[in-house]
Structure 1
């Protein structure tokens, strides 16, 4: 009995079915090594390459063993599933058959080596098993090839129908429902097909057949939410078998229809999820592998058509925008009074308006495609370097002035100003250069006339002021001599004093006019810095102001060191003008405060008065010549309105500044800041500019 059992065990070791099961890993390893030599199988992952083969080998082993057992084993649908997987991976029919041939060869080769090593006993049974094995393998190949061919033909027909549905229209909203209807009609047991397209992090229903209410309601999901959102987030197909009750399904329309099977796939383009498509059935709980394969193939083809439609729509939108932009540009070019032109990198005219073309002496059409040197050879040496500089640096050049003779005014140079700027593509690449040219000859001529007029007026004022000094000095000398003469009646003395007062006022006005002309025409008010003490200067000025304004209260506040290098006479003039201004424009019963502040390298001088503030519109130009603190002021001592202008010029000549603050609550304060040492020699002359 023991001997008989040992013989049965030994016999079982070389039976083909047992051999296949016991050596399955080795067989698959040998087969993988062989099939990896084929180009079409190199890119497949190991799981996808082996897929159903372990189950297929087990089934083949069971069928082969029926030679001894007499059982009724079959391969069922395993070869068909393998064929559909290979179709989905892009294999053609010859490649599928080649896989089976290699597998058969590996099994028989290794089994032959095994039988040879086991001796020739029971060879008849072994041969019957090999015959059954070959018959079974042929059935597997036939089933796989048959299912592959049917699925391939069905897929090709469906893809052709999809392409035909999209033919003739590039509007997605028009052909998407048609595409979905083709998918619904082609796939067995399907009664609804829905497409959701991605916008940012949201999926919006764009088209549906069978669930049209989702389109009407604007149904949408966030990526990662619900059935479609999960597919988009995980980037792989998904299936549920009772959609009407599955908590993952968020669509009320799907629930209301009592949908059972629901299968969805992502729409992938260039590695990005652009949407999700799903099909549903109310009659089955599970779609067949062939239906799912066909649905994936049709969705893949539809994805390409959708992307193409989207790209076409974007291109047309860009084209419309470009056309609108060009129309606006043409309108601008045609109506602009200035000369406008666009040139390419070779400095050839791409666009030019009528104004510039006329100035160049050629019609607009003659410029297009021609270079600057060809159209305006005389001006090209002046203009081309500027244009090339813009192209090389990518930076704009503005306000470039030059003289050119336009064709519209032969022989007469005109003054032009040009702005040149780079023209860029969306990616920043410089495509050309634009130019704006404006004839400013008339403006320049007007500016020159105004300048000459102003200069003549100021020189005239200077000459008159200077020449008036001599007769005025004679009048003052004579009047003072009369005052010293004995025996003049009292009534005459009063008139002579009036002559002296008026003459001294005229002297001050003439001095202001001379300072004004020096400031405008002479390069600035001259100063002669020397060592001085501002505290002593203040006291001297305040004493003179007290004589001129008897009864007014003047107060000085000064603490610190106020020695420095300044022009004492000019600073006395500055301080006197500020003090007189404060006294003139403040109530007679109010005080005027003068203060000095030691700020190290600088000193701060302030003159403050109470009373109505300077109107805000006048503050901005308060230091300009011939301005008054109050508009329309006719104060008898207000002079020519040059006092504050001279204050500013003296401060500038010392390297300092002057400013004013004036409010209803705080009154008016003029503040002058002067450096303690100007850095100039004792006899140097300060200038305004």
Structure 2
């Protein structure tokens, strides 16, 4: 190799343009490592960080090479300007843009210096000329980028100021949206239509338009994912078409018939959600400039914030309206209800009271608000405030709380109140206060007392009368029985005397029932005197007595097991007799009546069953009430006073047992009595009426 050829190879190795082209990846790597240390570049993805820099390095290499080739037409052709607009869109400020250019220059010169040192310095004249050209070119790139950034930034700020001014004075979106779109139309070059669609569920609907007003009038809408705007909403990124009038993605006939060429749309994003889509159109150009698209995105971002503010304000107004309506309804309810109503906060200060409570407390409504019960009604606060605090502490309602107090409207008269207290909660469940509803139940209490006294007088009267009737009745029966034993009485007179005895015995049973009823209601229950009894033997004896009164009827007894226990034999005989007579009275004459004794260990069960029509369902619930009959309106001559089943229940209870009934078509009627084998101790008839 000749000396000149060696020098040519060495010179080629030292060429800056060649070095930039051959080491572009390394240069960008070193630059990225340096620029990532700056706060504003840390969050950018690598594609957005590098954007047009690879192309910029290639262009710079070509311009530097003109030192050797002699060409003078190479230029950067707007690349720094595009890079500056991208940085403006990414939120960089002017110092950030200049800083990253400075880092790029530093990386290139540092690595190139290392390269020259390694290659040797046989001839540096051309290399130095390239460095000079490189610096000059880089200065031009920085100047172009800064200039474009400054112009675009100034234009954006002016547009945003105009949008802010247009939105002042109203919170109604339908009013200010057309004004905002008009500002966008006037600010962005080559734009003759701007349209805004807002999302309603899965549908985008036109809410405002300048240049395509017919879209608003027609109520144009489309689903998310369909058409030009729907695709933007679904993909959540801007989209552009060059010939909207013919592009199949454009669904709007108004856009097509208008002859729109360029159509550029962006999503309205708030808190990660798409709330709408805005697009601008032009009939004069097929493509918008990067600066116009950047400006449009910036203005749409500001419009998005204003729309969200308007929506929030509208929701607040709606909530306030609903609250006002609720309070108005509450005030109407408070004023109309005769009950005393109050709402108190967590400090037990009255927030609202109605006239009824104010009158009862003896103070006007205005004197309650902001004050506590202790301040308004100190004499009654000790009754109410503990209940209110309990509701606040537990968060649980208190129902049917009774208390008595004297009111200001009726001094000297003790009134009775029934109160319900409940927590008042916010939507999130937080307890905001406590509410109270008080009802004056004084009249009801007085009525209940009058009814109680009337019932007690009636029952005592029945007891006294029943007791006093026994003496003359006993005298009648003794005299009648004596006449029956007297010889020589005509047969016709004997028949009348027997009728007197039968009627007297029946009257005696009625009087006994009345006495038992009185004991059950007033004397603490029917008295019993338990002793050792064989229930099987007792039941057989009762059936024999019933057979005497009903000789044509069939009575059957079924018993297996041990039926010894401690009961009052007379009272159990009365219980079995009442159930048996009831079954015989209310069953067909040709059907049997069954008595069943069931050994259940510590408990015995007695069942009395008869066939025939079932007891009506509406009567079953009160069948054990006094003065009731199994059949409504029954006038059976032997049915008595309707106290038989009531006495059955009282006798069962006195033994610690229970009685129930089941009745249905086909199965007949069965009364079941459960008796503990060893019932309660004997009770003295201390409270009974004699």
Report the counterpart of residue 343 of structure 1 in structure 2.
344
Greater mean deviation of Cα atoms: 24-33 or 387-396: 24-33
Cα gap change, 1:527 to 1:185, in 2 (>3 Å): farther
Q: CA deviation at 1:70?
A: 2.5
Cα gap change, 1:462 to 1:278, in 2 (>3 Å): same
Q: Indicate conservation of the 8 Å contact 1:264/1:278, yes or no.
A: yes
Report the counterpart of residue 293 of structure 2 in structure 1.
292
* Distance in structure 1 (CA, Å) of the matches to 2:411 and 2:388: 25
Q: 3-state DSSP class of the match of 2:622?
A: coil
TM-score scaled by length of structure 2: 0.90
Q: Indicate conservation of the 8 Å contact 1:612/1:667, yes or no.
A: no
Report the counterpart of residue 440 of structure 1 in structure 2.
441
Q: 3-state DSSP class of the match of 2:627?
A: coil
Q: Report 1:553-568 matches (<5 A).
A: 553-556=554-557, 566-568=567-569
* Distance in structure 1 (CA, Å) of the matches to 2:37 and 2:446: 88
Report the counterpart of residue 391 of structure 1 in structure 2.
392
Q: Indicate conservation of the 8 Å contact 2:361/2:407, yes or no.
A: yes
Give RMSD over aligned pairs.
3.0
Q: CA deviation at 1:501?
A: 0.9
Greater mean deviation of Cα atoms: 212-221 or 409-418: 212-221
Report the counterpart of residue 410 of structure 1 in structure 2.
411
Greater mean deviation of Cα atoms: 642-651 or 208-217: 208-217
Q: CA deviation at 1:313?
A: 0.9
Report the counterpart of residue 420 of structure 1 in structure 2.
421
Q: Report 1:97-108 matches (<5 A).
A: 97-108=98-109
User: Is 1:400–2:408 an aligned residue pair?
Assistant: no
Report the counterpart of residue 126 of structure 2 in structure 1.
125
* Distance in structure 1 (CA, Å) of the matches to 2:193 and 2:564: 99
Greater mean deviation of Cα atoms: 206-215 or 77-86: 206-215
Per-residue CA deviations over 1:598-638 (Å, capped at 9, x if unaligned) read: 66665554444444444444333222111222333332222
Greater mean deviation of Cα atoms: 180-189 or 544-553: 180-189
TM-score scaled by length of structure 1: 0.91
Q: Indicate conservation of the 8 Å contact 1:658/1:671, yes or no.
A: yes
Q: Indicate conservation of the 8 Å contact 2:652/2:675, yes or no.
A: no
Report the counterpart of residue 453 of structure 1 in structure 2.
454
Aligned length: 685
Q: Report 1:82-101 matches (<5 A).
A: 82-101=83-102
Report the counterpart of residue 672 of structure 2 in structure 1.
672
Greater mean deviation of Cα atoms: 42-51 or 441-450: 42-51
Cα gap change, 1:228 to 1:461, in 2 (>3 Å): same
Greater mean deviation of Cα atoms: 596-605 or 643-652: 596-605
Q: Report 1:16-415 matches (<5 A).
A: 16-71=16-71, 72-210=73-211, 215=216, 218-241=219-242, 260-281=261-282, 284-415=285-416
Cα gap change, 1:672 to 1:258, in 2 (>3 Å): farther
Q: CA deviation at 1:314?
A: 0.7
Greater mean deviation of Cα atoms: 453-462 or 570-579: 570-579
Q: Indicate conservation of the 8 Å contact 1:527/1:684, yes or no.
A: yes
Q: CA deviation at 1:422?
A: 1.3
Q: Indicate conservation of the 8 Å contact 1:193/1:208, yes or no.
A: yes
Report the counterpart of residue 651 of structure 2 in structure 1.
650
Report the counterpart of residue 539 of structure 1 in structure 2.
540
Q: CA deviation at 1:510?
A: 1.5
Report the counterpart of residue 483 of structure 1 in structure 2.
484
* Distance in structure 1 (CA, Å) of the matches to 2:278 and 2:667: 79
* Distance in structure 1 (CA, Å) of the matches to 2:206 and 2:148: 34
Q: 3-state DSSP class of the match of 2:291?
A: helix
Q: CA deviation at 1:511?
A: 1.6
Q: CA deviation at 1:110?
A: 3.3
Per-residue CA deviations over 1:558-598 (Å, capped at 9, x if unaligned) read: 56665555544333323322332233234444444444556
Q: Indicate conservation of the 8 Å contact 1:654/1:674, yes or no.
A: no
Q: Report 1:584-623 matches (<5 A).
A: 584-596=585-597, 604-623=605-624
Greater mean deviation of Cα atoms: 543-552 or 108-117: 108-117
Unaligned runs of 5+ in 1: none
Cα gap change, 1:671 to 1:286, in 2 (>3 Å): farther
* Distance in structure 1 (CA, Å) of the matches to 2:488 and 2:461: 43
Q: Indicate conservation of the 8 Å contact 1:529/1:684, yes or no.
A: no
Q: Report 1:566-581 matches (<5 A).
A: 566-581=567-582
Greater mean deviation of Cα atoms: 595-604 or 168-177: 595-604
Q: 3-state DSSP class of the match of 1:65?
A: helix
Q: CA deviation at 1:531?
A: 5.2
